[in-house]
């Protein structure tokens, strides 16, 4: 079964895996420049969506390193929170009858 990682742009021989792990503190001015190279690779990656879904499936506390799917850990957490809030709003907006457990 083909895996999306087989088509990952970051697996290209010209790409240094170290680019995906900036050494600067995320609050440092140099961080953006360091992260930019990895983000550029992700920007042209054909499997970015699958990569994003795979990394978002990892619980936030376990996803604290590196650039993945063009995003740093903080940016990925923003998406996790946004999705959780959206799911919560959707659940609250559902009619009460649809929230009842199905009994047989």
96/91 Cα distance (integer angstroms): 9
> For residue 51, which of 67, 33, 32, 75 has the smallest C-alpha distance?
67
Indicate the DSSP class of residue 20.
G
> Closer CB to ligand SF4, residue 8 or residue 56?
8
**Residue 56 engages ligand SF4 in binding (rule: CB under 6 A):** no
Rule CB under 6 A: choose which of 10, 34, 72, 76 binds ligand SF4: 10
Rule CB under 6 A: choose which of 19, 22, 34, 47 binds ligand SF4: 47
Tokens of 5: 């990682």
Residues that bind ligand SF4 (CB under 6 A): 8-10, 41-42, 45, 47-48, 51, 68-70
């Amino acid at each position: 079964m083909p895996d999306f990682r087989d088509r990952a742009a970051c697996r290209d021989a010209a790409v240094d895996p170290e680019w995906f792990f900036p050494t600067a503190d995320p609050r440092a001015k140099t961080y953006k420049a360091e992260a930019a190279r990895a983000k550029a690779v992700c920007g042209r990656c054909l499997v970015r969506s699958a990569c994003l879904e795979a990394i978002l499936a990892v619980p936030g506390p376990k996803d604290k390193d590196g650039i993945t799917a063009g995003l740093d850990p903080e940016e990925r957490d923003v998406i996790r929170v946004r999705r959780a809030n959206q799911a919560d709003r959707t659940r609250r907006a559902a009619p009460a009858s649809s929230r009842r457990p199905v009994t047989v």
